[in-house]
Structure 1
Amino acid sequence: MTKVEKAKKLLQELTDKNFLLLKRSKNVGIYLFSLLKDILPQDYLELLKGFDGYSLEKKKALLMTIRSFIEAADFSPRTFSFEHEKKLPLEKFFKKVEDLKVLDQKEKKVLLAFGIQDMQSALWYVPVRYEDRRLNTSIGTAIVGQKVALKVRVVDKGYQQDEKYPAFVKVADSTGVLYLRYKYKNPRFLARFVVGKEMIVYGKLLEYKGEKYMVHPEVLSQEEAGLILPFYYIRTKSGLKLPAKQKHKKLRAIMEKLVEYVKHMPEYMPQEWLKSNNYPSIAECLYFVHKPSHELYPLLTIEDLNAFLTPYQRRLSHEELLLYQLALRLRRLEAVSHNAVKPSEDFLKHIENFKKSLPFKLTQAQERVIEEIVKDILSGKPMQRLLQGDVGSGKTVVSMAIAYAFAMEGYQSAIMVPTEILARQHFENFQKLLAPLGVNVALLTSSVKGAERQSVYKHTKEGNIHVLVGTHALLEEDVEFKKLAFVVIDEQHRFGVLQRKLLLEKGKGYYPHSLVMSATPIPRTLALSLYGDLDISVIDQMPEGRKPIITMLFFESQFDRVVEKVRQEVQKGHKVYVVYPVIEESEKLQLKALMTEHEKWKKLFPDKEVHILHGKMKEEDKRKVMEAFKERGHILLSTTVIEVGIDVPDATVMVIESAHRFGLSQLHQLRGRVGRSHLQSYCYLVVPDEVKQDEDAINRLKVMVRTNDGFKIAEEDLKLRGPGDLLGAAQSGYFGFWVANLTRLDDLILLEKAKKEAEEILSKDPKLESYPDLKKVLLYRYGDRMDLSHIA
């Protein structure tokens, strides 16, 4: 419900014939002022400020007048009159930053430092938040807890040495008194506040024991006040050695210049799509997000702007999601147009022989998934399937069964994983189960060098290697397969669509079947939309004999209990992980902290081997640490580098420090490093004592304590924090959205809608020939990332 709708409802209730509710209600004027401050004329707002002091008759009259005004007003978005502007060819808006004559060299350098390469990506570099610096409230009517701009007069000032905020300035307006509080130790800065002087202050309004105050507010110039100020995403590694405030200022100045050209941008989305969704034109939308204005959109509120709920922002999000769905669907249509290897009727027998060779029985879920995969493969069309399964559910064994069957048919398989540690682990697992059956397995990573590397190239090309496991090294030109039929990509979100394609192109004349695997459980409805180019299989059952991991939450003050539990497990000969978060603001600082913790744990366990692992180490050093930990180590201190693919069966304890800094899905991934055998395992979540006050953080962590089911955790994560956290930073970035944000529920709904719209558009026009400009935008956004050259 919008603020106007809330106000309408309240006015109807208050102006009911008997006016009983109006007689009993308090603070009506302040509440209505907060709802309607952006909409009502100034004289009405002034009357609302003193509302509670009026007689009943005057209150009735004012409310009836306001009600009549609102019911008669037109709050629909105003037109920008851009339709009369001369439209330029769409290509003009794809110009490289270096070619933009409107910008000087310094401004071009700023855009390039932010990774903005052309005019289109500059215009779509929309603000991530806004601050309302309009003078549309007063001390008496402003809502406590919100940031506001207030025009005030200095009444008094002073310095109290022993206070938390020793310097204060007392200011007032016609509706009340406000204190500006500062932590500065030197009182000289108070000289700028002259008693009787009028000024504009901006900050968060707070209240304590009836006294309203702001801490370190900004003092605004006349030009700064009266604006809705956009704030852009400031990359910490942009290369610009400027304070964040200056970076924002420079970006605003650049966008002011560029946005003037937007009025000449032609519309490229289908007219029926714009009409059915009641969306403004692309020119209006891009203009508005950089220069939001109440005059252009009467219902504008800072809350709606920051929640991306205005029709201008919604159109941009919706458009992005539709383009993504179109790209996915076009990608799938192109893939299934190829022929793939169709194995012989003995393929199923090979699968059965592999299952008989296993020292354990597959779960029903694994059996079902193998059936789904085999059915695809026997169709003769390229299989494109996403295999989702919880940590430790047995996805790798499924891929092994298919790789073995293809090897028996004389074909090769490639297994691509994101890290060297995971590649070595997969290689060892494949080797252990497949080598005794006559399958040649090889490893290719950056640390495989010299004669060994040349040997891998040679035997892969000749077809002597049946299964090649590796990292990005598999994508090199020197890697040639004789008969590649099956490709497995593990932790698929770490690879781009184009990287996947490079590997698939090594099939020589036919399209390999591909299985992409993910241990991040994603609710099926969301997965279907995000991975629309893939069919989905789910392993929703754990192998027999695995005991649920016991998870407990501890505060720092209880750390001795954690140490004691670790001691008990180490004495049994079991191994322990201790994980620390990587703090983005200062990775160097974090590494230093990790070293300090290393010393602490060595003192706690002087007779045990305590190892350390982090992402800044060379691959060879990481491998040596992991081997030492597996063979003789007791405790491994690490950053999240161990999140994926580490398999040490006798590791039974996972301690996660500052657990509140992690998303639920990441905590679940980390917990999955233990509990990989019949041994009882434990996960201890450790947080600072002050986190007790953070109800949201505690509720999230309690989800981990309650359940080991990754899909239940994913559902909870979706409810509590949205899919951005669920997917993790790597996966969120993987989709390449500029405005759409899957942490917003509204955008999730739009994603589902966009999927249906893409299907409808392509069912009528598979190559978008009726929409030449839409095709240009689609190729600009996804042409390279998803290889849409077949529609160019």
Structure 2
Amino acid sequence: MNREDKERLDRLGVQNSIDLALIVPRSYELLYLKERPQEGALNVIDAEVTGSSYHPKYLKFTLFAHNFNQNINAIIFHPTPYHRGKFQSGKRYYLKGKMEYKFNTWQMVQPQIIEEINTIEVKYKTPLQNRSVKRLIAELLTQESLMKEGLDQKRAALLLRMHRPDPSFVEAFFAHEGFDPETIEALKYAEIFNHLKKLSSKRLDFPAMAQLKGDLKAFTDALPFTLTGDQQKVIAEIQKDLAGETAAKRLIMGDVGCGKTMVILASVMIARPERAILMAPTTVLAAQIYEEAKKFLPKEVKIGFVTHENRKEDLSKYDFIIGTHALLYREIPEAPLVMIDEQHRFGTKQRAQIKAMVSEGEKHPHFLQFSATPIPRTLSMIQSQIIDVSRIEELPYPKDIDTKIITPKDFKALSEHIRKEGEAGRQVIVVYPLVSESETIDYQSIDEARAYWEKNFDGVFVTHGKDKEKEDILETFAKEGKILLATTLIEVGISLPKLSTIVIVAPERMGLATLHQLRGRVSRNGLKGYCYLFTKTKPAQRLREFCKTLDGFKIAELDLKYRQGGDLLKGDAQSGKSFEWFDPLEDEAILHEAQQRLKEYRSALPLS
């Protein structure tokens, strides 16, 4: 392949034959001579110019259409000197254009000269000229090249047919106003197969620093409760991972309140007598896990808690080190197990840095990431190409939370509910969209609203994301507060056992996953909970659907439905549509088949 064609393929984002096949035609033109004109449709004529008249805004000329055996008119609006030179009496061309029947005569509008007839013009929409794309596809795309990339024979043939269609295929395309169901299925399959293949090539495995086979029985037997079935299943998966010679890479994903802290502590016990490290996103969350570790781990496990305050302490004396990103600025002893809680709160570089700090040459630590932000099953299946994924869906106790959409007319009743909860010794959080007043958003900010709450209620605390004292305020509120006014900073991790009610102002401005995380702060220990969505707009369907379920994995499906998934390959999993054809909500069976095919394809490849 020459350098120019390589540059053209780069501009198209083409890395393999499937990429090229997925540059899908946007339309087709049937360039066939017919014996009769078709009104409103594209017609092709073998025409001779018999006369013309020029006006600054249009060029009119008469033609004899040999295939129709009759005279017709033609008109070109905004003609150029090129048109005037071409359409002179006596010239004969093949022309294409739409036909209209006006004033008892046929007229072709905006005719174009074409070189070939009795063929099909395939139209692409790309940064390149259409003829360049057609030539690249003609030269490089074959059934053999698609099958070599792993596609089955039938789907490879279906994709090729789009690019080299026959008249019946194009007629079906127009009849369906798009591709037929069989072709669409092939496009869905090719797109997800190609995506999985690229993802799997990004997975790099390394030898483990140690095979960890610590005894769990004493730990689980001593717990004052029985672990859920899902907790036990995930712990068994981790046991198998950590005992292996290859460094584990696993994402453990659970719903809010699913008990992932117990899975973290079980992993520490599996690592014994080797050292384990846990990095959490906030001091409050790290402190909570530290307290849980002291409560449930055996006394012989020495636990260290790292903050910015205790920088000089020697950490080598500890078996389990817990800290925030402060760990990144410390001398960390060798540790064959590294865990990250609420992994999406850390950047890719921070996650890589903590791993590198404890690695031993080519050998890497086992690496477990935990998240209380569920993603849809199909997206976790896709992600499993680069990292093993476990799901904790079962909760230790059922949540009892009523979710209700309210408007300003309900504020009096809301205030009364908050007063009663405070009198009963329970706590309330009101989440505002803004800290300070805004001219563009029709809701009060924390600064504007706090006067009302502080005047009418006692035990009111206020904090937000930019508040340097926020962690101290949250700790004090947990012990003695009644009402907390905050922004979404309380979305992740903080445990407030007495919290019964959360009021979310302007919920229409948030994603469903964020709303679910906020609601998850309530009813942590089986307490009756309430979640109020305070809006000034007509409630959207997604908010009404949100009110009907407490299941974080179902919420993730809804969030995907309304926002669409991000691009895992590029590391953007926030928003924006990743796939043009494959639908993560509808096409799980296609995904299963593609995963199985990829496994067979990779196992058949010669070992390098």
Range class of TM-score, shorter chain = 0.5 to 0.7
Give the AA of the match of 1:428. E
Of the candidates 648, 653, 665, which is equivalent to residue 513 of structure 2? 665
Quote the RMSD (CA, aligned, Å). 4.8
Of the candidates 578, 583, 598, which is equivalent to residue 742 of structure 1? 578
What's the CA shift string for 1:563-591, capped at 9, x where partnerless? 12111111101111111235999799899
Residues 427 and 501 in structure 2, CA contact (< 8 A), matched pair in contact too? yes
Task: For 1:377 and 1:391, locate their aligned partners in 2 and report how far apart those are by CA, in whole Å.
Answer: 25
Of the candidates 308, 321, 324, which is equivalent to residue 471 of structure 1? 324
Task: State the shift of 1:378 in Å.
Answer: 2.3
Task: For 2:374 and 2:496, locate their aligned partners in 1 and report how far apart those are by CA, in whole Å.
Answer: 22
Task: For 1:364 and 1:84, locate their aligned partners in 2 and report how far apart those are by CA, in whole Å.
Answer: 56
Compared CA separation, residues 512 and 4, structure 1 to 2 (3 A): closer
* 1:507 to 2:507 alignment: no
Aligned to 1:628: 476
Of the candidates 543, 551, 554, which is equivalent to residue 701 of structure 1? 543
Task: For 2:349 and 2:602, locate their aligned partners in 1 and report how far apart those are by CA, in whole Å.
Answer: 22
Task: State the shift of 1:388 in Å.
Answer: 1.4
**What are the residue-to-residue correspondences of 1:76-475 with 2, within 5 Å?**
76-77=122-123, 80-82=130-132, 272=146, 277=159, 325=196, 328-332=199-203, 334-335=204-205, 337-344=206-213, 347=214, 350-406=215-271, 409-434=272-297, 437-445=299-307, 448-449=308-309, 452-455=310-313, 458-459=314-315, 462=316, 464-475=317-328
- Structure of higher CA gyration radius: 2
Task: For 1:410 and 1:587, locate their aligned partners in 2 and report how far apart those are by CA, in whole Å.
Answer: 59
* 1:537 to 2:390 alignment: yes
Aligned to 1:571: 423
* 1:525 to 2:378 alignment: yes
Give the AA of the match of 1:454. K
Give the AA of the match of 1:735. G
* 1:593 to 2:445 alignment: yes
Task: For 2:134 and 2:256, locate their aligned partners in 1 and report how far apart those are by CA, in whole Å.
Answer: 58
Aligned to 2:538: 691
Aligned to 1:495: 346
Residues 384 and 515 in structure 1, CA contact (< 8 A), matched pair in contact too? yes
Task: State the shift of 1:511 in Å.
Answer: 2.5
Aligned to 1:722: 564
Task: State the shift of 1:743 in Å.
Answer: 7.7
Of the candidates 485, 488, 500, which is equivalent to residue 652 of structure 1? 500
Aligned to 1:611: 461
What's the CA shift string for 1:422-478, capped at 9, x where partnerless? 2232223223333x6232222224xx23xx2110xx22xx3x1111122223233x4
Q: Provide the secondary structure at the position in 1 that maps to 2:524.
A: coil
State the aligned residue count.
472
Q: Provide the secondary structure at the position in 2 that maps to 1:550.
A: strand
Task: For 2:443 and 2:201, locate their aligned partners in 1 and report how far apart those are by CA, in whole Å.
Answer: 44
Give the AA of the match of 1:686. F
Compared CA separation, residues 684 and 718, structure 1 to 2 (3 A): same
Compared CA separation, residues 614 and 594, structure 1 to 2 (3 A): same
Give the AA of the match of 2:328. L
What's the CA shift string for 1:143-186, capped at 9, x where partnerless? xxxxxxxxxxxxxxxxxxxxxxxxxxxxxxxxxxxxxxxxxxxx
Task: For 2:574 and 2:260, locate their aligned partners in 1 and report how far apart those are by CA, in whole Å.
Answer: 33
Task: State the shift of 1:323 in Å.
Answer: 8.4
Compared CA separation, residues 736 and 393, structure 1 to 2 (3 A): closer
Aligned to 1:556: 408
Task: For 2:370 and 2:534, locate their aligned partners in 1 and report how far apart those are by CA, in whole Å.
Answer: 30
Task: State the shift of 1:639 in Å.
Answer: 0.9
Residues 253 and 372 in structure 2, CA contact (< 8 A), matched pair in contact too? yes
Give the AA of the match of 1:631. K
Task: For 1:766 and 1:516, locate their aligned partners in 2 and report how far apart those are by CA, in whole Å.
Answer: 33
Task: For 1:671 and 1:686, locate their aligned partners in 2 and report how far apart those are by CA, in whole Å.
Answer: 13
What's the CA shift string for 1:117-143, capped at 9, x where partnerless? xxxxxxxxxxxxxxxxxxxxxxxxxxx
Task: State the shift of 1:741 in Å.
Answer: 2.6
Q: Provide the secondary structure at the position in 1 that maps to 2:421.
A: helix
Residues 463 and 470 in structure 2, CA contact (< 8 A), matched pair in contact too? yes
Task: State the shift of 1:353 in Å.
Answer: 1.2
Task: State the shift of 1:732 in Å.
Answer: 7.2
Compared CA separation, residues 706 and 587, structure 1 to 2 (3 A): same
Task: For 1:664 and 1:390, locate their aligned partners in 2 and report how far apart those are by CA, in whole Å.
Answer: 14
Residues 563 and 575 in structure 2, CA contact (< 8 A), matched pair in contact too? no
Task: State the shift of 1:542 in Å.
Answer: 1.0
Residues 428 and 502 in structure 2, CA contact (< 8 A), matched pair in contact too? yes
Structure with more strand by fraction: 2
Task: For 1:502 and 1:470, locate their aligned partners in 2 and report how far apart those are by CA, in whole Å.
Answer: 14
Compared CA separation, residues 411 and 626, structure 1 to 2 (3 A): same
Q: Provide the secondary structure at the position in 1 that maps to 2:503.
A: strand
Compared CA separation, residues 410 and 721, structure 1 to 2 (3 A): same
Q: Provide the secondary structure at the position in 1 that maps to 2:311.
A: helix
Compared CA separation, residues 551 and 743, structure 1 to 2 (3 A): farther
Task: For 1:522 and 1:419, locate their aligned partners in 2 and report how far apart those are by CA, in whole Å.
Answer: 22
Compared CA separation, residues 616 and 271, structure 1 to 2 (3 A): farther
Residues 496 and 734 in structure 1, CA contact (< 8 A), matched pair in contact too? no
Give the AA of the match of 1:351. L
Residues 342 and 378 in structure 1, CA contact (< 8 A), matched pair in contact too? yes
Question: For structure 1, which runs of at least 5 residues remain unmatched after alignment?
Answer: 6-11, 16-39, 51-57, 63-70, 88-265, 282-298, 305-310, 725-730, 770-792
Give the AA of the match of 1:691. K
Give the AA of the match of 1:518. S
Structure with more helix by fraction: 1
Give the AA of the match of 1:369. V
Task: State the shift of 1:646 in Å.
Answer: 0.9
Task: State the shift of 1:403 in Å.
Answer: 0.6
Task: For 1:555 and 1:75, locate their aligned partners in 2 and report how far apart those are by CA, in whole Å.
Answer: 57
Compared CA separation, residues 491 and 280, structure 1 to 2 (3 A): farther
Compared CA separation, residues 679 and 739, structure 1 to 2 (3 A): closer
Compared CA separation, residues 585 and 742, structure 1 to 2 (3 A): farther
Compared CA separation, residues 331 and 353, structure 1 to 2 (3 A): farther
